[in-house]
Amino acid sequence: MAIQEIKVPDIGDYSDVPIIEIHVQAGDTIQVEDPLITVESDKASMDVPAPAAGTVKEVKVKLGDTVSEGSLVLLLESEAGVAAPSGADEKPAAPAGKGGEPLPPAASPSAPAAPSAAPPAGPIADFSRVHASPSARHLARELEVDLTRVPPTGLKGRVTQEDIRNFAKGGAPTVATAGAPAAGEGMDLLPWPKVDFSKFGPVETQPLSRIKKISGANLHRNWVRIPHVTNHDEADITDLEAFRVQFNKANEKAGIKVSMLAFMIKAAVASLKQFPEFNASLEGDNLILKQYYHIGFAADTPNGLVVPVIRDADKKGVAEIAQEMGALAKLARDGKLKPDQMQGGCFTISSLGGIGGLFFTPIINAPEVAIMGVCRSYWKQVSPDGKQSEWRFMLPLSLSWDHRVIDGAAAARFNVHFANLLADMRRIIM
């Protein structure tokens, strides 16, 4: 029997990532690919699998420790040598430059084209000429991403796992230098002011979480590159709210609880069917009209905002949507959402209903072309016939849309249609 040191494999460009779960303890018998620990990455978590079978002799890490590539995880007692991890085929030779360093994939001198919003159909292309680690190649196969199309941001043209995740969700590669514009996109802005804030009083420096760093870069890109316009409206949800309360009370023992957001997702699907240009993505001079209805909802977590996606919402009832939302929201709060649970969205709803506010301007979640923002509902005295007033329960709506694809008249009609559906959900079945 031999004692092997099991270390953290190549996890891309991440370093000092915290351990959020330990799955084994001394004395456990494990098989190849069994998860040993789970570490937290940018928007999700990833398992470190066992490269060999055997018996755990000693665990060398504890919950909350930070690890990097090469960190010792545990001692394993086994008969065989360490097997190659899944996907770690012999690395093919890459073209060499000075000093024998591999060169990045061939690229034009100009900025790389924006990646496709969705992975290409059909078989994955040959990755042999791409400079990427075995773990990155394995991730690309899992997400069905063509590595040859992913713009690299790593050292010496290396494609990182972060590049792959950004490409898979239709995002742009992370800019290596903060604030540096991509080629051809400089806006001649004044430099960011540098201030020694400690001159004015006590300060504390707090690093941004990984989620905020990545979502912040995406939000900045979306705000700068998409011509946003926001329409505001109100939906009369008096009857719907009464039905929701009654439904939840009747199903309390079954543990079913439906939020207003679940009804809004169904209303969004019906509205997208009525206005297909809202269920689209812009690629160059072409508009990609989608024939599926995957609805994202913004989930607030301790580490920042993430957007889980309810897939095929048109085929699910409100109660089923509510249960799936609850499960995804819990995964988001625990930092365990998988990349495919945040991909493929057609339209996003961002709700501040539990907090407050009246109206706001939500930022479009590219490559989508619109997003619905909702705030806390309120009672309002209205006069439908202009003679007699009554109190109604109103939901404020804020629809942001991409003016390159949608015009003001279509946006107003979409908002009115969405509001009418919430006022009387029976319209959905007509």
* Cα(332)–Cα(337) distance, integer angstroms: 5
Active-site pick, 131, 220, 403, 417: 403
- 195-217: b (≥16 Cβ within 10 Å) or e: eeeeeeeeeeeeeebbbeebbeb
| Contact between 232 and 397 (Cβ < 8 Å) | yes
Nearest C-alpha neighbor of 68 from the set 21, 10, 139, 23? 10
* Cα(341)–Cα(310) distance, integer angstroms: 8
* Cα(268)–Cα(414) distance, integer angstroms: 9
Beta strands at 72-78 and 2-7: parallel, antiparallel or unpaired: antiparallel
What are the strands of the beta sheet with 29-30, ordered from one edge?
Answer: 2-7, 72-78, 54-59, 29-30
Nearest C-alpha neighbor of 319 from the set 276, 365, 275, 263? 263
* Cα(206)–Cα(229) distance, integer angstroms: 33
Has 403 been annotated as catalytic?
A: yes
Catalytic residue positions?
A: 403
